[in-house]
Structure 1
Amino acid sequence: MTENATGNPNGTPPFMNLRMMTPIEYAVPINGYFSPILICFTVVTNILVVVVLLKKHMRTPTNAILAGMAVSDMFTGLIPLPVFIYFFSLGNYREKVPLNWCVIYVYFGEYIPTIFHTASIWLTMALAIQRYIYICHSFQARKWCTMQNVLLGTAIIYAIATLAQVSRFLEEEYIDFEAPSNVNPNVTVNACVRVLKPWVRNHMDLYYNVYFWFRVICIHLIPCTFLVVLNALLILTMRQAQIRRMQLLKQNKKSESRKLKDSNCTTLMLVAVVGLFLLVEFPMGIIMILNIVQNTFEHVNICDDRTFAIMSLMSNFFILLSYPLNFFIYCGMSRQFRETFKRMFIGGSMPIDRECSQYMTLPIENGNKTQMTVGGGETVL
């Protein structure tokens, strides 16, 4: 199970040729025209997200994770941008890939973006876990949901995401060959051949099965399943909090009720962020599972490679399309984010309303008190 050249025993090197590797009629408009515009828009919106979330009054554990997600999403799109422009926008996909662009295509178009996308997936899971602890285990939140732990966890996530991909950088070598041009057969060009190294070639089935099954299980299936469960628990908790808020209003405890409402708004915003992530990630996970199953089991024939390539291309585009949407979720559902963003351009002092602290004590009906998290001061509402 491999997408790479391994050499041709008949003597003709398998030159790297994008016409053979990708469905060009779909890749050119998507990667060559729509994606570069979308990536530029993503860079602008995600830089704005990071700038707002790292303002002094906004620096909280949850906002640190949101900023990390914005950085990961931005680089997932930005790093392959030179590949999209050179090959698909400028039409160089017609020619055999030269050696220098062969390495750039593989590293910038495939391997490095995968690291950032993996980090984004795990950061999204960390965000949901943190919010669940804030809401359902508030006493533990003081210990676990700290800025120091978030920064350490983010560093660990990036390190593991890199380690999960590092073998891809070592699995092949790139050889320069002279060959007839695809555009003009009378002209000779330098073309690239990707050749698997012996340690991969001798254990190819084992290596690619381990790599792709690990990827689909640990990077797609488990995080997505976990997020579905956590989102359902958070939605259930919001319903219970809404009932509690009605009780507080009946008891004329308007201040506690307002803070509980802020907590629900914060949770709802994070549920929306996670929901958008699941909406675009699930199709990619399903495509990968089907593709791996077909390549692992010889007698299973789900669909041809071209169909898988088209589905993967479309799924990747919708993932890219989702990246700038978080900015609008924050603006639409976060009062403090909206006010901070606005005052960055019109001037004036930044909002410092942090009345909704990480923890608050709410009276319950029997006169006792219970500590619960309501917004964490960490969010932006």
Structure 2
Amino acid sequence: MNATLPSSIDLIPLDIAPYGVYIPDYFNMDYALPVYGYITPALSIVVTVTNILFVAVFAKSGMKSPTHILLRFMAISDTLTVVIPTPCFIYIYLLRNYEEFLLYELCTVWDLFTNFIPAITHTASIWLTVVLAFQRFLCVCFPLNVKIWFNSTRTYIIIIVTYLLAICSNVSRFLEKDVIPVKLNSMLNPGEVIRGCVYNYNDWMIESGIEYLKVYYWLRAIVVQLVPCIVMAVFNGIVLYKIKVAERRRITLRSGMMNLPGTNVQESRESRVTTLLRKFEFKSSQTRPVTDNDSMETHMMDESARGVLEWEETGVPGENPRDRVGDPWHFHVRAGDQTPAGESERRVA
């Protein structure tokens, strides 16, 4: 393949270059072939299918909270980290094109898809996880202020800023070298000339030498790996501590009620259920005639009353049974009486 090469070939003094980008020179094929050729493509399929289902569920209209938004973009980032380099791995390793010099058309694509872009998406995914840990911390420790920091608009802004910072932290990698096309003797077909490539490192990269790489990888290890782990450990530790303190406080209050002289918690609970049911029956009898559905409605009122008591006793944050079943004092409206609650009360009066 004696193709006409760009003018940049003049930078190479020989007509046929003695070397080019050869994948086995950069990776140990005993490990790279099974990891990148077999494990990574299979993992990519699993991650892609799982995260597509994950994003599809969280994209529903009822899941627009800041937590769901963060989880959705974390799934997208993780998917891109695995999926973007997979086509290159399949072409080079699975199809065994690593036995030949890397063609010029693939040199830039190889660096972008296997090094630079996955590093950006991976960095963004890690810091979005830190943001989610911070949001959980606010929900538990400062529940009244969480909406000041996190709403849908601010969450999207935080995600955009996170991606921009991830790009900035890796922008130097795009400026390290230029890709130059060269003529090479084929490794597979002796005598055939192919168009490969070599890397021409920029002057600042050559002058800094190994020091630049040391600084880059140390900063990446600290900023992308160590600091996020420490921050998430601190936030999650505080959250767990607050949850345990609340649990101990609840247990202490309940045990204190049981130890009061002359107090029987179970009897008190059953007495409150009976009182609620009597109020239900009174409301229902005053606002509509007795029908064959009374037995079913009585059962529903019983369950509603017990649910309200359980919610009031445990104090666990969550859905209030009054909101789910209906306000027990106006249960007759839900049970079949279409008369508004205010009019019913006037009718009773």
TM, length-normalised to structure 1: 0.62
Counterpart in 1 of 2:311? 255
Residues 95 and 256 (structure 1), Cα distance of their counterparts in 2 relative to 1, 3 Å cut: farther
2:77 is the counterpart of 1:72: yes
Counterpart in 2 of 1:118? 123
Counterpart in 2 of 1:89? 94
Counterpart in 1 of 2:29? 24
Counterpart in 2 of 1:3? none
Give the C-alpha shift of residue 85 in structure 1: 0.9
Counterpart in 1 of 2:295? none
Query: Aligned partners of 2:52, 2:97: CA distance in 1, in Å?
Result: 31
Matches within 5 A, 1:332-371: none
Q: Is the 8 A contact 1:176 1:191 kept in 2?
A: yes
Matches within 5 A, 1:85-234: 85-234=90-239
Query: Aligned partners of 1:91, 1:180: CA distance in 2, in Å?
Result: 18
Counterpart in 2 of 1:286? none
Q: Is the 8 A contact 2:17 2:183 kept in 1?
A: no
Higher alpha-carbon Rg: 2
Matches within 5 A, 1:294-333: none
Give the C-alpha shift of residue 202 in structure 1: 2.3
Structure 1: unaligned runs, 5 residues or longer: 1-6, 264-352, 357-381
Q: Deviation per CA, 1:192-233, whole angstroms, max 9, x where unpaired?
A: 111111232223344323322221111111111111222222
Greater RCO, 1 or 2 (C-alpha within 8 Å, sep 6+): 1
Q: Is the 8 A contact 1:61 1:147 kept in 2?
A: yes
Query: Aligned partners of 1:53, 1:208: CA distance in 2, in Å?
Result: 40
**Counterpart AA for 1:179:** L
Give the C-alpha shift of residue 355 in structure 1: 6.5
Query: Aligned partners of 1:32, 1:254: CA distance in 2, in Å?
Result: 56
Q: For 1:202, what is the secondary structure of its paired residue?
A: helix
Question: What CA RMSD, in Å, does the superposition of the two structures yield over aligned residues?
Answer: 2.9
Query: Aligned partners of 2:216, 2:313: CA distance in 1, in Å?
Result: 50
Structure 2: unaligned runs, 5 residues or longer: 1-10, 258-268, 270-308, 325-349
Residues 241 and 196 (structure 1), Cα distance of their counterparts in 2 relative to 1, 3 Å cut: same
Residues 219 and 35 (structure 1), Cα distance of their counterparts in 2 relative to 1, 3 Å cut: same
Counterpart in 2 of 1:267? none
TM, length-normalised to structure 2: 0.68
Q: Is the 8 A contact 2:17 2:184 kept in 1?
A: no
Q: For 2:188, what is the secondary structure of its paired residue?
A: coil
Residues 156 and 14 (structure 1), Cα distance of their counterparts in 2 relative to 1, 3 Å cut: farther
Q: For 1:190, what is the secondary structure of its paired residue?
A: strand
**Counterpart AA for 2:184:** A
Q: Is the 8 A contact 1:178 1:191 kept in 2?
A: yes
Query: Aligned partners of 1:240, 1:35: CA distance in 2, in Å?
Result: 43
**Counterpart AA for 1:204:** G
Q: Is the 8 A contact 1:241 1:260 kept in 2?
A: no
Residues 245 and 94 (structure 1), Cα distance of their counterparts in 2 relative to 1, 3 Å cut: farther
Q: Is the 8 A contact 1:180 1:188 kept in 2?
A: yes
Query: Aligned partners of 2:115, 2:315: CA distance in 1, in Å?
Result: 45
Q: Is the 8 A contact 1:245 1:260 kept in 2?
A: no
